Amino acid sequence: MVKEVTASELEKIIKKATLVLVDFSAVWCGPCHRQHEILEELEQKLNGKIIIVSLDIDKDRAYAIQLGIRAVPTLQLYKNGQVVTVSDKKGEQDRLVSVQSLPFLENLINKFI
């Protein structure tokens, strides 16, 4: 199960862990629920090779604003404490907005493991 964390917990995890995928979401967001299901499958498939956590933007609104999170679901990947730039259909970016498929995420993360 993908663990929900606070902003302060997230910052500690990002500093300690090698690879962290952060799901910025909200309880009221329908697509976020689908993304959570995909992330739970991904977490099982990768079996401890990455830490996947979720941050509720309504509970940590100031932190989400500080990071420029304007839409949910939004995913950000961190490696060694730094945001990773990823490629998708829209080109190079530091975050993925909208629901991402399991094959896409698995392929993306395997590049960094």
**DSSP character for 62?**
H
Q: Which of 29, 42, 57, 72 is catalytic?
A: 29
Active site residue 32: yes
List Cβ neighbours of 36 (8 Å cut-off, separation of 6 or more): 2, 23, 25, 54
72/104 Cα distance (integer angstroms): 18
Q: Which of 5, 14, 22, 32 is catalytic?
A: 32
Active site residue 29: yes
Q: Which of 39, 54, 58, 62 is nearest to 108 (CA)?
A: 39
Catalytic residues: 29, 32
